Amino acid sequence: MKKSKFIILIVFALVITNISAYLLGKNSAKGFELDFSKNETTTEKKDVKTDGPDFFDKQTADTLGAVIGHIKKNYYKNVDNETLNVGLIKGVVNSLDDPYSEFMTKEELKKFMESTNGKYVGVGLVVSPGKDGYITVVSPIKGSPAYKAGIKSGDRIIKVDDVEYSAETMQDAVNKMRGEEGKTVSITILRDEQKQKKVHEFKIKRETIKLQTVDGRILEKNIGYIAISEFDKPTYEDFMKEFEALKKKGIQKLILDLRGNPGGLLDVCTKIADVFLDKGTIVYTKYKDGKKEYYYSDEKKEDLPLVVLVNGGSASASEIVSGALKDRKRAKLVGTQTFGKGIVQRLFNLPFETAVKLTISEYFTPNGNNIHKVGIKPDEVVELPENVKGIGPDHLSEDTQLKKALEILK
């Protein structure tokens, strides 16, 4: 790889030093552990301007003071200063009207970081703010309590413990779903069934979620199968071990299953894409000043025929891999439209152990496509049966997408 910068497609959390970090944008449901190659702080004046008329003019200060005065004097409940201060800062960030940008208090940041060792206590859902204003389930983590309970990709969360939440309050819902191990949380979802919207309630017991990201096996004769559940720090090494083991067993063709994979580290996903690509572009990012950063594959590549499985739960890093392999005509994509997550966030540490996460750029496939809110259409669109009980080799009889991949490779 010619370019290596750690970027995360967020879900539950990331490792933060006392510096900033890059993320590719999901907002909620899994942990990442990584080291950062770039050390810089954003709390010094040389890095960020914090005064001047563009930030806080007298009229704004006077109005704000008057509003706080009325709240203190006339609001029907007592409100402490900390609540008002946090609300003020959150309001500034919320004014961006960007569900992926947020201010985090010390406690929120602590929770955000708890998942950095690859495990956390929760129900095991990857979620994102939906275009329709709902909290959308990108995917349940395989083997998690939510997965076992039957929550599916595309479900929309409307309540947690009987409290209503929306895309705007998604982080509050995520915090509510996490908590003490062994305790039960109620999650109410809206699901499209036979052209109707139906409400389902799930009582789910929280567990410690441990993530195993790579699963490989031989399906038929010379056809190998590797499923990647997310692009975590050890995923590349685990993938290569599995891939090399399958090659030693004689596979000559491969199915790469990225269904339900919500993303992960850019550095990891580009390394895996590089395995199958010769010299060229994998992905590039673009900032508001027009600056572009490219991530390249080298000349070496594995030549075996390749099919990639995707669906609506394939997001961010999964779309980088599938988009690169499709644009460069290296693999056939089979399944359904991917999620459509094509923006990058950066997390900046602030004073008093707080932080702000801001969208800073967008990314593009090799052909220049920005897939944000659009997704990637597979070469072969194949829907799953409506009442399918599971996907993958253990459910081959009903997994129409996997069947199609095998058909293409035979």
Least confident of 115-119, 180-184, 211-215, 231-235: 115-119
- Residue 389 inside a domain? The answer is yes
* Average of per-residue pLDDT across 177-200: 93
Return the bridge partners of 298, or none.
none
Percent over 70 (pLDDT), the chain: 85
Segment 151-178 mean pLDDT: 93
Q: What is the pLDDT of residue 118?
A: 60
User: What are the DSSP calls for 328-387, one per residue?
Assistant: TTSSEEEES------EEEEEEEEGGGEEEEEEEEEEE-TTS---TTT----SEE-PPPTT
Q: Is 180 exposed, middle or buried (0-12, 13-18, 19+ CB in 10 A)?
A: exposed
- 95 pLDDT higher than 50: yes
pLDDT value, residue 1: 54
- Same domain for 145 and 221, yes or no, is no
Q: Answer whether residue 243 shows pLDDT above 50.
A: yes
112 in a structural domain: no
Q: Which of 36-40, 167-171, 268-272 has the lowest mean pLDDT?
A: 36-40
Given the structure tokens 């080298």, which residue do they identify?
Answer: 298
The three-class DSSP label of residue 243 is: helix
172 and 240 fall within a common domain: no
Residue 184 placed within a domain: yes
Q: Do 255 and 267 belong together in one domain?
A: yes
Please report, for the domain that includes residue 257, its CATH number: 3.90.226.10
On whether both 223 and 333 belong to a single domain, the answer is yes
Mean pLDDT, residues 326-346 taken together: 95
pLDDT for position 286? 97
Q: Is the pLDDT of residue 148 over 60?
A: yes
pLDDT value of residue 109 = 86
Q: Is residue 21 part of a domain?
A: no
Give the end of a domain, one of 163, 183, 210.
210
Average pLDDT over residues 246-262: 96
| pLDDT, the chain, mean | 85
Q: At what angle do helices 317-327 and 266-276 cross, to 10 degrees?
A: 20
Strands (DSSP E) found in 259-325: 280-287, 292-297, 306-310
Is residue 5 over pLDDT 70?
no
**DSSP state, residue 169:** G
In a domain, 64, yes or no: no
Domain identity same for 199 and 258 = no
Over residues 198-213, mean pLDDT: 91
236 lies in the same domain as 329: yes
Percent of the chain at pLDDT > 90 equals 66
User: Are both 228 and 274 inside the same structural domain?
Assistant: yes
- Residue 17: inside a domain, yes or no? no
pLDDT band at 117 (very low <50, low <70, confident <90, very high): low
pLDDT at 9 over 60: no
Distances, alpha carbon 382 to alpha carbons 15, 311, 377, in Å: 37, 9, 11
Find the radius of gyration of the CA atoms of the chain. 22
Is the pTM of the predicted complex or chain greater than 0.85? no
Catalytic residues: 316, 327, 341
Q: What is the CATH number of the domain that holds 195?
A: 2.30.42.10
Residue 221's domain spans which residues?
A: 214-342+364-409
* Cα 13 from Cα 87, distance rounded (Å): 22
Read off the pLDDT of residues 353-392 as tens digits, 9 standing for 90 and up. Answer: 999 999 999 999 999 999 999 999 999 999 999 878 778 9
Most confidently modeled range among 25-34, 35-44, 53-62, 254-263: 254-263
pLDDT at 4 over 50: no
Please check the confidence at residue 10 and state whether its pLDDT lies above 60: no
Model confidence at 81, pLDDT cuts 50, 70, 90, reads very high
State the pLDDT confidence band at 33, using cuts at 50, 70 and 90. Answer: very low
Q: Supply 203's token pair.
A: 């009582």
Q: Are residues 403 and 265 in the same domain?
A: yes
Domain end call among 210, 239, 269: 210
**Same structural domain for residues 394 and 261?**
yes
24 domain-assigned: no
Q: Which tokens sit at 138?
A: 């990108």
Q: Is 184 or 131 the better-scoring residue by pLDDT?
A: 184
Are residue 297 and residue 329 in the same domain, yes or no?
A: yes
Q: Which of 210, 242, 264 is the last residue of a domain?
A: 210
Does residue 294 belong to any structural domain of this protein?
Answer: yes
294 and 204 in a single domain? The answer is no
Q: Do residues 201 and 240 share a domain?
A: no
Number of domains forming the structure of the chain = 2
